[in-house]
Structure 1
């Protein structure tokens, strides 16, 4: 119940009035039953604006630290993340990926919508990066459809490295569900997992209009830091991104 209070009574109306987010393809999200929402990741605000356009709750995984704080601040933080549809996962251990997968399976097993960012981290320059295969494994092991999702403009509202940016109307586009039942039983085939992930990322690219880079975002960030340290010029993200 706290989630619905947070979304519709407190935070939701404020975001709707101030930013007036737009959406398309809502008919592609089932009114009931499980589905995986695979989304690009431009800003920390993505997990706020994407679910805001849907009448159903969307669950994500979040760092365990958000749920273990002490005192009033810790309680408020835990209440906020729990209420806004997030479940904890400890990403520091060797079994972090497995723990995230188990959390996702539980949500989908209960008939919920599970949100995932296949890139694994936010894009630092507005481009779309190579997806990690966890989304493909999850799709095959649960047998639920994957709905590609593109958010546009959230990196203007909340740019990487900043809490606030400038005003724009975020756009959320939901693509048609992708069915991978033809690969049933092949969840341990890395070539199949890569093929499925690439298909999902292609649909996200098509929806978002982003330039695609066949490199993991974490590596791209590391290379960008090295370039900064050497004083090399940065590429202009505005020129890199295709018109949406």
Structure 2
């Protein structure tokens, strides 16, 4: 119930406040499982994308956001649960593996799942090498990958800030990348790497970010 209320009220309210520029929204399939693979500049990204996407989007979120105490903790937990986010312990390797299973369930249920191939926020605004989980999910589920380019969200909530601000934001949805059947006979590791690199090239084309050939250090 809370999820439906928030998703009915929040997106139009946030769009009215932030007034983002939205491009390529017609590239997002309206039905069926789909991965929205985005660059990651701000804590606010997981609110911005669901606010402008033409359908509900599920994201994973740090389990810390669901374990707070007192009134503030309860409100924070309700907020994240209401947005449809799923908690994951980033410091537990077993939990991280299980989270991929959760993502597959979301995709196989015909829903949209949001993922940040960089793994964590870019603190310097550059685009880091993608981790291959996005490709693994696409290969296992058969879901297409829609690259998403975010521009300006780092100004909505700068690193170290706990309050959102007004800023000019642009969200660009690229053409879907279909992987089903394209990598039959290709070694799994090679397929995952090639798909992920293609996704990151498409994201870079949407954002114009400087590309870094190394992984983003975890923050």
Structure 1 unaligned spans of 5+: 222-244
Deviation at 1:157, TM superposition (A): 1.6
Deviation at 1:112, TM superposition (A): 0.4
Structure 2 unaligned spans of 5+: none
Given the superposition, is the C-alpha separation of residues 196 and 2 from structure 1 closer, same or farther in structure 2, using an over 3 Å criterion? same
Matches within 5 A, 1:3-22: 3-9=3-9, 11-22=10-21
**Aligned counterpart, 2:72:** 73
Check the 8 A contact 1:90/1:99 in 2, yes or no.
no
Deviations 1:5-26 (A, max 9, x none): 22332x3343222210121111
Check the 8 A contact 1:140/1:185 in 2, yes or no.
no
Given the superposition, is the C-alpha separation of residues 180 and 116 from structure 1 closer, same or farther in structure 2, using an over 3 Å criterion? same
CA-based RMSD: 1.9
Deviation at 1:45, TM superposition (A): 0.6
> What is the SS of the residue equivalent to 1:172?
strand
Deviation at 1:165, TM superposition (A): 6.9
**Aligned counterpart, 2:166:** 167
Distance across 1 between alignment mates of 2:40 and 2:203: 10
Deviation at 1:144, TM superposition (A): 0.7
**Aligned counterpart, 1:140:** 139
Deviations 1:76-108 (A, max 9, x none): 222111111201112221213312201101111
Q: Report which stretch shifted further, 110-119 or 56-65.
A: 56-65
Given the superposition, is the C-alpha separation of residues 80 and 166 from structure 1 closer, same or farther in structure 2, using an over 3 Å criterion? closer
Check the 8 A contact 1:49/1:170 in 2, yes or no.
no
1:203 aligns with 2:202: yes
TM-score (norm 1): 0.83
Check the 8 A contact 1:23/1:171 in 2, yes or no.
yes
Distance across 2 between alignment mates of 1:176 and 1:62: 26
> What is the SS of the residue equivalent to 1:148?
strand
Distance across 1 between alignment mates of 2:82 and 2:34: 20
Deviation at 1:48, TM superposition (A): 0.9
1:89 aligns with 2:88: yes
Bigger relative contact order (CA 8 A; separation at least 6): 2
Check the 8 A contact 2:11/2:50 in 1, yes or no.
no
TM-score (norm 2): 0.92
